[in-house]
Amino acid sequence: MCRLFGLIAPRPVKITFPLLEAAESLRRQSLLNPDGWGVGYYAGGHAVVRKQAEAAHGSPGFSRVAEQARSHLFVAHVRLRTAGGINLANTHPFSYGGWILAQNGGIGGAWHKRIKAEIGWGRIAGKTSGEHLLYWLHARAGHLSGAARDAAILAAVRELVADPASIGSANFVLATGDQLYAFRFSPPQGNARSLFYLRRSPPLAEASPGAAEAEGGIPRTPAVLVASEQVTGPGEPWQPVANGCLLIARRDLSVDLERIAAA
């Protein structure tokens, strides 16, 4: 069923804790989702994706990225194969045009054909819905910024859910370099996938900038997190993203929730 994780913070942080150490870390979740792992983030203003078509819980590469990567914006994924072989071409997240996207579920063959017809056949290398959605959303909104980009992404997902006949689940996490988007959608005939978010505000007496990083990005780090599971446990106020909602999170930790479709 795949598992998603995303984070946006005012300054670069590490995500060692949610990926390796938390009770519901992505490494632990990969025991049931062993068909690939990937971590996307931004370094020097550029999108970087590290991924392997192997289980995260046995991968030295996954541990190395989780321990070393620092960024203000992350997208991570552990995969359980539903479409396409176990290979890099089908391993999330995907990067295109400076955007990074990981997806959970599937939008179906009809939507795959429709997207290929719109963006051009031969541009998508793999078979997963995540790669299709990334190219399609970027074609609709990649040339825009700010409120105009938000509106274009909203319009695109409204169009997606207006024709849900082949969709099993359309959960995704998308990073655009300056913002984090997360969408949860399963139609009545689909398989509901969970998605949660946490807005962690700075404490009144905030620690020095290096303190949280030195501790592996533990729960005190101010950030907005989204995840398929409540990775940091019951001590923090995680909230469900309602079915049919698009979450938009920014580096100032502001969050908007836009209702796209009825639950």
> Is the pLDDT score of 1 beyond 90?
no
pLDDT at 210: 41
For the segment 132-153, the average pLDDT, to the nearest whole number, is: 97
Three-state SS for 72? strand
Q: For the chain, how far is it from start to end, CA to CA, in angstroms?
A: 20
Q: What is d(CA 31, CA 11) in angstroms, rounded to the nearest whole number?
A: 31
49: enclosing H helix or E strand: strand 46-52
pLDDT at 203: 53
pLDDT at 207: 39
The answer, as to whether pTM is greater than 0.75, is: yes
> Is the pLDDT score of 62 beyond 50?
yes
- In percent, the amount of the chain with pLDDT more than 90 equals 75
CATH number of the domain residue 125 falls in = 3.60.20.10
pLDDT at 147: 96
* DSSP codes joined into one string, 102-154: EEEEE--HHHHHHHHHHH-TT---S--HHHHHHHHHHHHHTT--HHHHHHHHH
For the segment 24-40, the average pLDDT, to the nearest whole number, is: 95
**144, 14 in Cβ contact below 8 A?**
no
Using one digit for the tens of pLDDT, what is the confidence trace for 172-193?
Answer: 999 999 999 999 999 887 778 8
**2, 29 in Cβ contact below 8 A?**
no
pLDDT at 73: 98
46: enclosing H helix or E strand: strand 46-52
Q: Give the Cβ contact number of residue 171 at 10 Å.
A: 25
Using one digit for the tens of pLDDT, what is the confidence trace for 84-93?
Answer: 789 899 999 9
Give the orientation angle of helix 146-162 with respect to helix 129-141, to 10 degrees: 130
> Is the pLDDT score of 262 beyond 70?
no
Looking at this protein, which amino acid is placed at residue 69?
A
pLDDT at 202: 67
For the segment 124-131, the average pLDDT, to the nearest whole number, is: 92
Range of the domain at 56: 3-259
Comparing 81 with 218, which gets the higher pLDDT?
A: 81
- Is 245 catalytic? The answer is no
- Measured at the CA of 162, the angle between CA 78 and CA 256, to 5 degrees, comes to 60
For the segment 164-179, the average pLDDT, to the nearest whole number, is: 93
> Is the pLDDT score of 75 beyond 90?
yes
> Is the pLDDT score of 39 beyond 90?
yes
Using one digit for the tens of pLDDT, what is the confidence trace for 197-256?
Answer: 999 886 533 433 443 443 444 456 899 999 999 998 777 899 999 999 999 999 999 999
Who contacts 246 (Cβ-Cβ below 8 Å, separation ≥6)? Answer: 153, 154, 157, 181, 182, 183, 257, 258, 260
Give me 85's structure tokens.
């072989």
pLDDT at 131: 95
pLDDT at 257: 97
For the segment 39-63, the average pLDDT, to the nearest whole number, is: 97
pLDDT at 213: 43
For the segment 101-124, the average pLDDT, to the nearest whole number, is: 92
Q: What is d(CA 207, CA 257) in angstroms, rounded to the nearest whole number?
A: 29
Three-state SS for 64? helix
Domain count, the chain: 1
